[in-house]
Every structure is written in C-alpha cells, then in structure tokens.
Amino acid sequence: MSTDCGNQRIGDKSIMEDNQSLNETSKLKVINHEVQSLQKQQRLTSLLPEYNKVQYLLLSDTTTNCAPLHLRNILSHFNESQLNQFDLLFILIYTVALESGYMCKSDHIQTMVSPLSSTSSFHSKNVERLSKLKPIFTVTPDKKKFTMKLNSVVDDRQVTAEKIYALLTATVCDDLMIVTLSPANCLNSGGFSTVLLISRYVLDEEKDVKLSFHRFCKMPELTTILRDKLFVPMRNKHLSWMQAHIYPSLDAMPVELYENLLQYLNKYELNSLAKVNWNLFNVTVRSKHYENLRKTDEHVRSVHRYNSPELCAARSIPCPNFANSTNIKEGKSHQ
C-alpha cells in the first residue's frame, strides 16, 4: 500500500514538473514574440543607418532626417556655418545639374566620368565621383550673382565635351533668384530661365539647425522646376546639335522593336512612314516585312507581265482568258 502511494507521489511530481516546463516554454515563446514585435516596430520607426540613408537617393528624396550622399559630399567642400540662403540654393541648383547629366567645367575631370548615351541623363557613379570635387564657380563680393560653366556629359565618340557647354547664371533680387542657362555660341540659339523664391526652398538660419540640409524644403518641386525649365531643354538642344536621337522618340527605338511594329502595316502605310525622314526611310526599306512585301509585289507583277497579250503573242500561245474559259466550261456542261 505504501509502495503504491509512493509511486503515485512520484507520478504526480513528474506531471507537475512537465506542466511547469510547458508553462515556462509557452512564457518564453510569448516573450520572444513580444521582443520580435518590438524590434520590428523599432526598425520601422527608427532612422535608417547612415550607409542606407544616403545610397542611391536623389535631391528630391532629401528630408530633415537624411540627404543623398552626393549632396553631403558637395556641402562638405564648404564651411556650412558661413553659407547663407543664396549660397545654399545655388548649391542645390548645381546638384540638380549633376543629376541631369551635367558636370562642372574642368579639364582634369574629363577622364573621371563615364559617357552617357542620348537615351539617359542620370549616372549614379558619375554623380558620386563629381560630387567629391569642389564645384568651380565665380560669385560677386555681395553674393548677388553666381556664374558657373557646365558641360553636358555625352558619348565622347560623337562630339567633344568642350563644344557642348552652357553658362549657368543665378542673380539674386530681394527674395528671388533668377536662374538662366545660356547655350554655347556654336548653337546660335536662345537660352532658358526661371525664377525661384529663395525662402520657399531654403529656410532662414536658426540656432537649433545643426546641418545645412535641415533647412531644405520642397526639394521635389525644386528638382522638377529646374529639370523641366532649364536642364532637360538645354540637353535636348545639345543632342539635336549633335544630330543624336532624343528619347523618347520614334527615331530612337531598337531595331527589333521596329520589326515588331512594321509587320502590322501594309505597303501603303510603309511608304507613308518611309517619307517622314531619312532615318525612318532606312529603317523601313531594310525591314524584313518590307522586303517580303516587295518580293510578293514583284512576283505578282511578273506573273501579270508574263500573261500579258503582248508576251503571249510573241510566244505564239493563246492569251489566257478566264472569262472565255468559264463560258467554254459552261457550254460543255450544257452539251
């Protein structure tokens, strides 16, 4: 009897230990789950690490918490404590120029950049390399006029960079900055200009502001204005002067894409397309679809020419007359 009681006590004790271990395991799972949830929430709400904040960002992505790497590189060339609103806005304009396929005029940086085709204007490696060099520009003592010479980064196999430059000028008038981009003399054309409200994009200096980019605001708007009003139109002028295809354009599509599109056109539509310009003429007449239509048309014309009355008379054979042959067959059937 005592043995049975002892065995029962041992069994109850083991069951209690198992229950306790299960409770501890479940508690650990709950704690781990809560810790993971907390860590996930912290990752979502906390600031990005330094190397993630600045990589592959544009000026339009600038916030009070992070700024692009190339913008930080450019600002590092200056004593930020001595930069006023005019200086900072001109630096922002130069940053947009880098992102739009331009570089500061300098002879020793020609080998540092990779050439750009006419179908693109942004090259992350070019922007990063050029931002490590201090921009060269002139400014009046009162800091009311800034001047910089910009070169378009293009394919160096087509034209030398010295021939396609533009003069960037920024003039301060009260709270306004008049920005002008003038082409080189070889283009014989007008330039482009726009007016920026300085206080709209660069705030007044405050004591609590530690970094310059904390004073920047509405960067997407500034980027869009500068690109659409200045840098993209001027780059298009440079490309047109080079007789390069400006993308997007019907003249700048890949050859295989032309083949896919031309197969849906008949010969009359192909002839109309070939009359647009020399480029589309060459694309059209060299396409496989045009060649097949031409061969089919030549074959049909040769058959008609072979069965013409003149050739039939020369060969002393009756000219085929489908109407008579039909009547003959009908006559035979009546007989």
Q: Tens of pLDDT along 223-273?
A: 999 999 999 888 888 777 777 666 556 666 767 788 888 888 888 888 888
State residue 197's pLDDT score: 95
pTM greater than the 0.85 cutoff: no
pLDDT greater than 60 at residue 43: no
Q: Name the CATH code of domain 51-247 (choices 3.40.47.10, 3.40.50.2000, 3.40.1000.30, 3.40.1440.10).
A: 3.40.1000.30
pLDDT in tens, 50-77: 444 445 688 888 877 788 888 888 988 8
Domain ranges in the chain are 51-247, 249-300
Report whether 131 contacts 180 (CB < 8 A): no
Identify which has the larger pLDDT, 8 or 202. Answer: 202
Instruction: Tell which residue, 95, 323, 99, 72, has the closest CA to residue 213.
Output: 72
Check residue 97 and give its pLDDT.
92
pLDDT at 331 over 50: no
Mean pLDDT for 166-192 is 87
Q: Is the pLDDT of residue 169 over 60?
A: yes
Residue 148: pLDDT over 90: yes
**Is the confidence at residue 287, as pLDDT, over 80?**
yes
- Given a contact cutoff of 8 angstroms between Cβ atoms, the answer to whether 242 and 159 are in contact is yes
- What is the band of 208 on the pLDDT scale with cuts at 50, 70, 90? low
Compute the distance between CA of residue 287 and CA of residue 308 in angstroms, rounded to an integer. 32
Q: What pLDDT score was predicted for residue 192?
A: 92
The per-residue pLDDT for 173 is: 93
Dist. CA 26–CA 302, nearest whole Å: 90
Total residues found in the chain within this entry: 335
Go through 128-156 and write b for each residue having 16 or more CB atoms within 10 A of its CB, e for each that does not.
Answer: bbbbebebebeeeeeeeebebebbbbbee
In whole numbers, what is the pLDDT of the chain averaged over residues? 75
pLDDT value for 335: 40
127: Cβ–Cβ under 8 A, 6 or more apart, which residues? 70, 98, 99
Top pLDDT among 11 and 82 is at 82
Burial track 300-326 (b if 16+ CB lie within 10 A, e otherwise): eeeeeeeeeeeeeeeeeeeeeeeeeee
